[in-house]
């Protein structure tokens, strides 16, 4: 906290490098000229010209762009001792894991915008960072980090944190959406989305529930909360009713047990927007531990459940890459992450979105062929699941029915040694 005050007392530059220059980073770059002490020295991307174009569209001047060293080689970052913090934003789990390992072993702090990589190998990566005395951090502005901040607020102030999560636009019929159908479901014209540089495959993952499963798994692995045993419920709940709904069934809510993550939908079963929805925001449900605290809730107009015991704190929006700088300053000024993986409790399994034929290629999160669902880590190990983040590009070895769980023995997988090591490490933590 109070980073701005600290910055005003500091003249030290924070040298930052970026891997992957897509929409999230473009939003961060749009704030660049207003950020004190941050110097972006290098950007690595497989498409340098597109990366430069994204910089230009984010309102960077030609002079600023020319001052940045663009490359398609990760070692241009790894071998540069002047770089303090690296932002991994490729959105590709396989690439992200490999990049993170190289960055960490080169003794640089890393911010993982790449939640996909974090869910596949986050515990391995965070432990590796600890061994190398660097910070491994989630990205502030992404919902997992913001949810964890609210959980921290609840715990540090002595509340019992019962549930936490985010809002989204979700309907059961959306789970089979593809990049061809996404914009109608999302509620934006295709032309507008394309002009804004919005990736249809990535945004489709928001609609299908893939991203929600990934992000909630990340929160579970970074907190005391657990994934719901039977998957996310997506109740259509407005902010004033969260504390009535996301509490244990024994107390009048829907939770099978306390201490769970959940995602609430902004639309009902008729696909109508519900009042006071939290489509873009995050929330935490807390419980008063004694009658005096309950009385305080009532005395100060705090919205609760009928018993007066449960209340909700919510943040109506997340600003995505526009607030990423907070992670940079947290690391640079305090050596503290804005959320990190502490456990391996949850994973995201891959299910067939349609009938798959032998020899067919999978296209991963938000695509045409598969979808993801959050599962317990024990389930992942016992069933030898194919993690959703590793599914892109794999060839199926047999016919697979729609909605069937896809396991590693069903696909031709030639994972890198880094990925094999990371998964073995995480599975070794399960008794």
Chain segment 26-38, per-residue pLDDT in tens: 999 999 999 999 9
Q: Where in the chain is the domain with CATH 3.90.1210.10?
A: 346-428
Please determine, for residue 431, whether its predicted confidence score (pLDDT) is greater than 90.
no
Q: What is the mean pLDDT of residues 197-211?
A: 94
Q: Where in the chain is the domain with CATH 3.40.50.720?
A: 3-141+323-334
- Kindly list the distances between the CA atom of residue 410 and the CA atoms of 357, 362, 366, 391, 399, in Å, as whole numbers in the listed order: 11, 12, 20, 11, 9
pLDDT of residue 1: 62
Q: Has this prediction a pTM greater than 0.95? A: yes
Are 108 and 332 in contact by the 8 Å Cβ rule? The answer is: no
Are 16 and 38 in contact by the 8 Å Cβ rule? The answer is: yes
Q: What is the mean pLDDT of residues 243-256?
A: 96
Confidence of residue 3 (pLDDT cuts 50, 70, 90): confident
Main-chain phi, psi angles of 215, to 5 degrees = -70, -40
Please determine, for residue 232, whether its predicted confidence score (pLDDT) is greater than 90.
yes
The listed CATH number (3.30.830.10, 3.90.1210.10, 3.40.50.1100, 3.30.450.20) that belongs to domain 346-428: 3.90.1210.10
Please determine, for residue 5, whether its predicted confidence score (pLDDT) is greater than 90.
no
**pLDDT tens-digit readout, 296-320:** 999 999 999 999 999 999 999 999 9
In whole angstroms, how large is the CA radius of gyration of the chain?
Answer: 21
CATH 3.90.79.10 corresponds to the domain 3-141+323-334: no
């Amino acid at each position: 906290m109070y980073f701005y005050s600290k910055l005003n007392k500091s003249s030290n530059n924070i040298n930052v490098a970026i891997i992957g220059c897509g929409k999230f980073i473009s939003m961060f770059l749009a704030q660049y000229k207003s950020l004190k002490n941050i110097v972006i020295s290098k950007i690595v991307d497989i498409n340098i010209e597109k990366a430069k174009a994204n910089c230009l569209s984010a309102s960077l001047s030609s002079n600023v762009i020319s001052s940045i060293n663009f490359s398609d080689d990760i070692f241009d970052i790894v071998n540069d001792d002047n770089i303090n913090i690296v932002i991994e934003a490729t959105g590709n789990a396989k690439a992200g894991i490999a990049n993170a390992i190289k960055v960490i072993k080169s003794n640089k702090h890393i911010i993982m915008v790449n939640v996909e990589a974090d869910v596949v190998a986050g515990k391995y990566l965070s432990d590796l960072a600890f061994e190398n005395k660097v910070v491994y951090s989630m990205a502030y502005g992404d919902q997992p980090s913001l949810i964890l901040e609210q959980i921290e607020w609840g715990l540090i102030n002595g509340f019992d944190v019962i549930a936490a999560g985010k809002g989204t636009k979700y309907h059961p019929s959306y789970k089979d959406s593809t990049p061809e159908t996404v914009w109608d479901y999302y509620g934006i014209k295709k032309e507008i989305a394309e002009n804004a540089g919005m990736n249809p495959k990535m945004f489709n993952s928001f609609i299908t529930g893939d991203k929600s499963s990934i992000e909630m798994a990340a929160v579970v692995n970074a907190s005391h909360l657990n994934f719901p045993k039977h998957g996310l419920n997506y109740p259509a709940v407005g902010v004033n009713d969260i504390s009535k709904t996301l509490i244990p069934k024994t107390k009048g809510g829907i939770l099978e047990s306390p201490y769970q993550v959940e995602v609430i939908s902004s639309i009902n079963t008729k696909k109508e927007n519900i009042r006071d929805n939290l489509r873009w925001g995050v929330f935490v449900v807390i419980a008063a531990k004694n009658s005096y605290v309950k009385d305080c809730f009532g005395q100060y107009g705090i919205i609760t459940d009928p018993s007066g015991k449960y209340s909700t704190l919510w943040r109506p929006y997340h600003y995505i890459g526009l607030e990423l700088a907070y992670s940079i300053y947290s690391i640079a000024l305090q050596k503290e992450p804005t959320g990190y993986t502490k456990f391996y409790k949850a994973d995201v399994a891959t299910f067939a979105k349609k009938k798959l034929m032998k020899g067919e290629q999978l296209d991963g999160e938000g695509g045409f062929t598969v979808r993801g669902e959050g599962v317990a880590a024990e389930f992942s190990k016992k069933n030898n699941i194919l993690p959703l983040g590793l599914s892109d590009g794999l060839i199926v070895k047999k016919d697979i029915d729609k909605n069937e769980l896809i396991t590693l023995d069903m696909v031709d997988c030639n994972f890198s040694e880094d990925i094999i090591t990371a998964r073995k490490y995480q599975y070794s933590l399960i008794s």
